[in-house]
Structure 1
Amino acid sequence: MSNTPKAIFVDDDLNTLNSLRRVLRRHCNDWDIEYCQSPAAALSLMSEFSPWIVVSEKRICEMDGADFLHLVSNQSPEVVRVLLTGAITSEVALDLADIAHMLIAKPFKPESLIELLHRAKCLHELPVSPVMRKQLGSIKRIPVLPRVYARLTSYLKNDMVDLHEVARIISHDSTIMAKIIQLANSSFFGFSRPVSHPHEAVVRLGQGLVKNLVLFFGISKQCDITDIKLRDELLAQAMHIAMISRQLSAACGCLFKETNDSFVLGLLHNIGSLMSSMSFIKIEANDDTTDYCEENAVGAYLLALWEFDEELVKAVLYQNSPQNSDVITPLCCRLHVAKVVNNAQKNGISALSEASGLNYELLQSQGLHDDVVLWINQFESEEQGEN
């Protein structure tokens, strides 16, 4: 793939294209950008120009923008597909969830386009092979977001959010709703009174955490039936590591958002492995000379595509060797600790032993060493007491 970032913008309104050209020339002059007034012109450019991202207006006289992006996905599945549209209602998001990776509501601020191209760069820089990018882009249900998640994410972008409406949206999928209520009733979260209604579960867990749980459970449902055993193992591992991460974060005195971020990272850390357990993609054997495996790279790619924070994306990418990341954060360190604790439990050893692989130097570099050692001692003592 070329190292020069390339994009195609499609709109039959010449004034809009000129406006885009002025904005992007000022702020993204390192990009090579083509501006097309018709989908046909854009399609004829695709193979020769090789864009990283294609952005299309939805309302185009010649062809609906969504139909155009469908053709783009068939011709160049590795290209990031973005649709510019009017007010993005949950219904619109649902209708477009199978084709567009991202939706941008009009009118939009220049910052939205600048951030969009920055994200496309981040995606391009991730160590995912061209073959794997094509595989991911060819899937019709993933990596395009699960439908309930797409609808929920769209609704949560509103200035005023009604938790009753959040509950109504997740109620469209009874399996996801049941799992969220089950988690809200978990003693792990420290609540004594049980809840039985989606609205109560949303209030208890918070809309941000519920949104990411919908993603987690929505993806897990899409696994082929032949992979149920492996899927269940991966989901159980993800949930266990998420809970360990949350408990560790609380013990380290993290704020509410940091604690929830750790939980979400734990939930999604093995999404690449989950993808490889499905018949959707085929991941080749890992190269031990790299700091990451392709399963983790695939997971990082998907999270970047779904507009997760860059910190979380890098934590997933470098989870096997966080010390080698260009930016080391407490978030990735807590994931490292949670995975070590989880593996130590499986192997019947202490997470503080040399055999566990706990990176003391890494923890010391982030000022986490003492808190982590204290918490592991307490955690393992409680585990022994229960056994």
Structure 2
Amino acid sequence: MTKKKIIFVDDEPNILDGLRRMLRSLRNEYDMHFASGGREALTLMESDRFDVVVSDMRMPGMDGAELLETIQKKHPHAIRIMLTGQADEQSILRTVGVVHQFLAKPCDPEKLKIILTQTSALQDMLSDGGLKDLISQLGKLPSLPSTYAKLQKAIATPGVEIKEIGEIIAKDIAMTAKVLQLVNSAFFGIYSRVDSPGRAVTLLGLDTIKVLVLGLELFSQIKISEEVFRFDRLWDHSLTVGKVAKAIAGTQSDDKELIGNTFLAGTLHDLGKLILISSLPKQYLRVFDLTQERNITMPEAEKEVFGAGQSAVGSYLVGLWGFTGPIVEAIGFQSCIEKYPGNVFTPTLAVHVANVLYYRNRPDEIIGRRLDINMPVLERLGLQGALGDWETICADIMQDQTE
């Protein structure tokens, strides 16, 4: 198997020397190159195909943000990772939609090794020939919804006030109605009436509102035939999996970014299904038929009919939109988690477990053979003992929504 080519970029020679020493044990797995600046990195990439770029942010001349933005345009296949310090916050805002993964400096060697392994697995999945053939059949893919994009930009603005966030949502009357309808439903269990987007942001927080807006926009923008699949059931399932996955993540970590990524990935984990049903409805009906004829799971039937599963399609799309690695990976690997490397809890695991537990609580919605939790992965991570608590969390959340 051909080794992945990785290029590390930093203007400080001692940093590059440290990376060489730190990653020496990976020489048999990766073909590693080192560049002392953005211009040198681009020159190397013009003469050879690199799979991953790891760049420092602060460099003279061409900084990391400009470098990775250029690489995104000229070499879009390459996974882009940025090393940042605490003082780089403003610079990071320039790279939203450009960088797949941020790593804090100084970078822990083991964490860097895990990230390289995971991003390589993601790239293998996204470069699969079956997925490429399927994407070519889909025609024009949807763009990132506009209201969500405006929210992202506003949230990234220092000193932004909740009132301003609420006003962005309020400008879209249809979106305002949908957000308020959802916020006032049993799903969130808020007992006082919420009558404005600003109030909804105050009660639920920016991260939650952002995910709701994205999900609502996507499910409104992409039309599917009710003869193929019930739209409301797909939306309810997606949102519930997001909520359960978020709660599971909260039992394992207090990292707000990890928990937020988990909620977003859980809510969008069936995005590929939405795309396939809307674009290729007749072929997707064949997926349903196969699950019954052969007693196989939905992912297995999708792979047979399309050459790739809906998870890979969803992962490909959010990757195009510039979402970070943990979100892209969670959507892509949640249905085949045995292929996802790593030895720590991740959003990928939370979404995988939440999706399976959802169907355990709603067996009438299962199509084909039931999905099972991948116990070898839980055992590898030492988390098999947590499953009972996660089952209780899921049952409680789903019970609350029906009351």
Question: Equivalent residue for 1:129?
Answer: 127
Letter in 1 for 2:98: A
Question: Equivalent residue for 2:19?
Answer: 24
Question: Equivalent residue for 1:110?
Answer: 106
Question: Equivalent residue for 2:53?
Answer: 53
Q: Confirm or deny: 8 A CA contact 2:225 2:278 kept in the other structure.
A: no
TM-score w.r.t. length of structure 2: 0.59
CA–CA distance in structure 1, aligned partners of residues 90 and 133 of structure 2? 28
CA–CA distance in structure 2, aligned partners of residues 42 and 307 of structure 1? 22
Residue 209 of structure 1 deviates from its aligned partner by: 1.7
Q: Confirm or deny: 8 A CA contact 1:181 1:195 kept in the other structure.
A: yes
Question: Equivalent residue for 2:324?
Answer: 307
Question: Equivalent residue for 2:180?
Answer: 181
Question: Equivalent residue for 2:99?
Answer: 101
CA–CA distance in structure 2, aligned partners of residues 133 and 169 of structure 1? 36
Question: Equivalent residue for 2:309?
Answer: 294
Residue 198 of structure 1 deviates from its aligned partner by: 1.6
Structure 1, residues 109-132: CA drift from partner, whole Å, max 9, x if none?
Answer: 333999677545412213333555
Q: Confirm or deny: 8 A CA contact 1:248 1:334 kept in the other structure.
A: yes
Question: What secondary structure does 1:6 align onto?
Answer: strand
Residue 69 of structure 1 deviates from its aligned partner by: 5.1
Whether 1:337 aligns to 2:335 is no
Letter in 2 for 1:294: G
Describe the shift of the 1:308–1:217 C-alpha distance in structure 2 as closer, same or farther (beyond 3 A): farther
Q: How does 1:351-362 map to 2 (within 5 A)?
A: 357=370, 359=372
Describe the shift of the 1:18–1:241 C-alpha distance in structure 2 as closer, same or farther (beyond 3 A): same
Structure 1, residues 224-254: CA drift from partner, whole Å, max 9, x if none?
Answer: xxx5548x958634431145447878999x8
Describe the shift of the 1:181–1:116 C-alpha distance in structure 2 as closer, same or farther (beyond 3 A): farther
Question: Equivalent residue for 1:350?
Answer: none
Residue 156 of structure 1 deviates from its aligned partner by: 5.6
Question: Equivalent residue for 1:88?
Answer: 90
Letter in 1 for 2:90: I
Question: Equivalent residue for 2:236?
Answer: 240
Question: Equivalent residue for 1:352?
Answer: none
Q: How does 1:198-209 map to 2 (within 5 A)?
A: 198-209=197-208
Residue 201 of structure 1 deviates from its aligned partner by: 0.7
Describe the shift of the 1:181–1:16 C-alpha distance in structure 2 as closer, same or farther (beyond 3 A): farther
Q: Confirm or deny: 8 A CA contact 1:249 1:262 kept in the other structure.
A: yes
CA–CA distance in structure 2, aligned partners of residues 134 and 335 of structure 1? 27
Q: Confirm or deny: 8 A CA contact 1:88 1:154 kept in the other structure.
A: no
CA–CA distance in structure 2, aligned partners of residues 260 and 38 of structure 1? 32
Return 5+ residue gaps in structure 1 as ranges.
Answer: 10-14, 348-354
Residue 39 of structure 1 deviates from its aligned partner by: 3.9
Question: What secondary structure does 2:77 align onto?
Answer: coil
What do you get for the CA RMSD once the two structures are aligned? 5.9
Q: Confirm or deny: 8 A CA contact 1:81 1:101 kept in the other structure.
A: yes
CA–CA distance in structure 2, aligned partners of residues 317 and 379 of structure 1? 24
Describe the shift of the 1:235–1:323 C-alpha distance in structure 2 as closer, same or farther (beyond 3 A): farther
Q: Confirm or deny: 8 A CA contact 2:176 2:197 kept in the other structure.
A: yes
Question: What secondary structure does 1:213 align onto?
Answer: helix
Aligned length: 353
Describe the shift of the 1:110–1:173 C-alpha distance in structure 2 as closer, same or farther (beyond 3 A): farther
Q: Confirm or deny: 8 A CA contact 1:315 1:332 kept in the other structure.
A: no
CA–CA distance in structure 2, aligned partners of residues 374 and 113 of structure 1? 35
Q: Confirm or deny: 8 A CA contact 1:149 1:211 kept in the other structure.
A: yes
- Point out the more displaced range, 208-217 or 234-243: 234-243
Describe the shift of the 1:371–1:207 C-alpha distance in structure 2 as closer, same or farther (beyond 3 A): closer
Q: Confirm or deny: 8 A CA contact 1:52 1:79 kept in the other structure.
A: yes
Question: Equivalent residue for 1:317?
Answer: 333
Return 5+ residue gaps in structure 2 as ranges.
Answer: 288-298
Describe the shift of the 1:119–1:358 C-alpha distance in structure 2 as closer, same or farther (beyond 3 A): closer
Residue 4 of structure 1 deviates from its aligned partner by: 3.5
Question: What secondary structure does 1:201 align onto?
Answer: helix
Question: What secondary structure does 1:101 align onto?
Answer: coil
Residue identity (%): 19
Of the two structures, which has the highest relative contact order with CA contacts closer than 8 Å and spacing of 6 or more? 2
Residue 336 of structure 1 deviates from its aligned partner by: 0.6
Letter in 2 for 1:212: V
Question: Equivalent residue for 1:42?
Answer: 42
CA–CA distance in structure 2, aligned partners of residues 222 and 73 of structure 1? 27
Q: Confirm or deny: 8 A CA contact 2:183 2:194 kept in the other structure.
A: yes
Residue 275 of structure 1 deviates from its aligned partner by: 4.4
CA–CA distance in structure 1, aligned partners of residues 207 and 183 of structure 2? 14
CA–CA distance in structure 2, aligned partners of residues 2 and 117 of structure 1? 18
Q: Confirm or deny: 8 A CA contact 1:73 1:79 kept in the other structure.
A: yes
TM-score w.r.t. length of structure 1: 0.61
Describe the shift of the 1:233–1:172 C-alpha distance in structure 2 as closer, same or farther (beyond 3 A): farther
Q: How does 1:184-263 map to 2 (within 5 A)?
A: 184-217=183-216, 219-220=218-219, 223=222, 227=223, 229=225, 236-245=232-241
Describe the shift of the 1:194–1:303 C-alpha distance in structure 2 as closer, same or farther (beyond 3 A): same
Q: Confirm or deny: 8 A CA contact 1:81 1:102 kept in the other structure.
A: yes
Question: What secondary structure does 1:336 align onto?
Answer: helix
Q: Confirm or deny: 8 A CA contact 1:54 1:82 kept in the other structure.
A: yes
Q: Confirm or deny: 8 A CA contact 2:246 2:263 kept in the other structure.
A: no
Structure 1, residues 284-341: CA drift from partner, whole Å, max 9, x if none?
Answer: x97669899532234456668733648x94576243x668877795653331121355
Describe the shift of the 1:64–1:251 C-alpha distance in structure 2 as closer, same or farther (beyond 3 A): closer
Letter in 2 for 1:109: K
Letter in 2 for 1:333: V
Describe the shift of the 1:120–1:234 C-alpha distance in structure 2 as closer, same or farther (beyond 3 A): farther
CA–CA distance in structure 2, aligned partners of residues 101 and 239 of structure 1? 29
Whether 1:274 aligns to 2:274 is yes
Describe the shift of the 1:57–1:147 C-alpha distance in structure 2 as closer, same or farther (beyond 3 A): farther
